């Protein structure tokens, strides 16, 4: 998000909130302010107070666990002149619950990957075979992902993580393999889960439910973070159509702003395996490719500018590919100490 704002034509003053003074991200804006962790009972009032003190006009969630609490605060934020860039509680709650989300779209006949609670994983294994993918029921950013290859591993997982959900392992048709022939070395490289040929569709939804922008890309990830993004101009797999159908349904339930829909194209066609109502780790990369969803959302949803002004921020450069790598960010030690002592400090952008 910060990279998107840095390349935007819209001038902004960025105030970053975080629970840790050591977080690199909190120091990258014009001002840094400490707030309690989202699990702290004081979180809600602290966020409201910080928004008032800093004159915040738009609040953009940065962490999945904050999505629902902030959605529930939208009216209180509006009362102090701050617009939450995000969806209402009902939509956020649905999409944060991996099992409920899968069951919801399955009931609509839309291609969401088969997902069951760990207690029904044996049943899923009988139906589709191994391997299976396990994840926390409300997890994010690929944390806690495990690939299970046999019943012994499944039983061990059930004991260690009784609240996780289990999904059919989606095999991309570009791999040229059959699920029954997959070996551990096909799925893991250097102890890391292989995450390539994931088709990601990012949409921006207006308050009237219309889609004002869509960006489809073939992504390669490492440890859940995008490292290579190839925009897709002509999607012949039907993935974009499926994602837009799901987004349209969610818009009818109240979805507003950004939505990230993650898919794979299998031999049976495209399947969605994750939907998150937020900006994503690839947001900055998309902005580098001309699709600045953060600027578009601020112009349309916060400032109320004409929809065509917002769409002008969403002009994808299909002649480019974006590679990403972690960048060092040096933080002034005294700024960290000052933030720890006083709870607020000028950020790096504010000191230049």
pLDDT digits (tens, 9 = 90+) for 44-84: 999 999 999 999 999 999 999 999 999 999 999 999 999 99
Least confident of 136-150, 249-263, 277-291: 136-150
> Is 352's pLDDT higher than 60?
no
Residues 190-199 have pLDDT tens digits of: 778 888 899 9
Residue 154 CB partners (closer than 8 Å, separation 6+) = 121, 122, 125, 132, 148, 166
> Is 288's pLDDT higher than 70?
yes
Residues 100-117 have pLDDT tens digits of: 999 999 999 999 999 999
- pLDDT tier at 326, thresholds 50, 70, 90: confident
Q: How many angstroms separate the Cα of 326 from the Cα of each of 99, 129, 223, 268? A: 32, 37, 12, 35
Give me the half-sphere count of Cα atoms (radius 13 Å) on the Cβ side of residue 351. 11
What confidence score (pLDDT) does residue 144 get? 74
Three-state SS annotation for 48-63: HHHHHHHCCCEECCCC
φ, ψ at 144 (rounded to 5°): 80, 5
- Domains for the chain: give ranges and CATH numbers: 85-112+193-320 (3.30.470.20), 114-169 (3.30.1490.20)
- pLDDT tier at 142, thresholds 50, 70, 90: low
> Is 30's pLDDT higher than 90?
yes
Is pTM beyond 0.85? Reply is yes
Least confident of 33-37, 284-288, 343-347: 343-347
pLDDT average, residue stretch 8-28: 95
Q: What is the mean pLDDT of the chain?
A: 94
- What element of type H or E holds 98? helix 98-107
Which is higher by pLDDT, 282 or 144?
Answer: 282
> Is 319's pLDDT higher than 60?
yes
């Amino acid at each position: 998000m910060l990279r998107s704002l840095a390349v935007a034509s819209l001038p902004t003053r960025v105030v970053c909130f975080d629970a840790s003074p050591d977080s690199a991200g909190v120091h990258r804006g014009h001002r840094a302010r400490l707030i309690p962790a989202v699990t702290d009972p004081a979180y809600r009032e602290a966020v409201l107070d910080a928004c008032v003190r800093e004159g915040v006009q738009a609040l953009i969630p940065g962490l999945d666990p904050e999505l629902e609490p902030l959605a529930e605060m939208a009216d209180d934020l509006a009362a102090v002149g701050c617009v939450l860039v995000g969806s209402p509680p009902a939509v956020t709650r649905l999409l944060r619950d991996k099992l409920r989300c899968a069951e919801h779209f399955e009931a609509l006949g839309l291609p969401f990957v088969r997902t069951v609670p760990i207690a029904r994983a044996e049943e899923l294994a009988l139906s589709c075979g191994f391997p299976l993918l396990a994840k926390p029921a409300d997890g994010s950013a690929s944390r806690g992902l495990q690939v299970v290859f046999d019943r012994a591993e499944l039983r061990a997982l059930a004991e260690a993580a009784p609240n996780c959900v289990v999904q059919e392992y989606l095999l991309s048709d570009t791999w040229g393999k059959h699920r029954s022939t997959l070996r551990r070395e096909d799925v893991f490289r250097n102890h890391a889960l292989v995450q390539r040929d994931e088709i990601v569709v990012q949409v921006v939804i207006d308050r009237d439910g219309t889609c004002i922008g869509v960006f489809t890309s073939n992504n390669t990830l490492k440890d859940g973070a995008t490292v290579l993004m190839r925009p897709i101009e002509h999607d012949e797999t039907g993935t974009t159509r499926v994602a837009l159908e799901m987004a349209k349904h969610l818009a009818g339930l109240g979805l507003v702003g950004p939505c990230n829909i993650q898919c794979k194209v299998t031999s049976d066609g495209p399947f969605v395996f994750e939907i998150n109502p937020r900006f994503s780790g690839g947001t900055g990369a998309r902005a580098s490719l001309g699709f600045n969803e953060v600027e578009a959302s601020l112009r349309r949803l916060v400032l109320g500018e004409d929809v065509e002004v917002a769409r002008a921020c969403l002009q994808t450069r299909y002649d480019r590919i974006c590679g990403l790598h972690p960048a060092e960010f040096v933080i002034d030690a005294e700024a960290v100490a000052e933030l720890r002592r006083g709870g607020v400090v000028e950020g790096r952008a504010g000191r230049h």
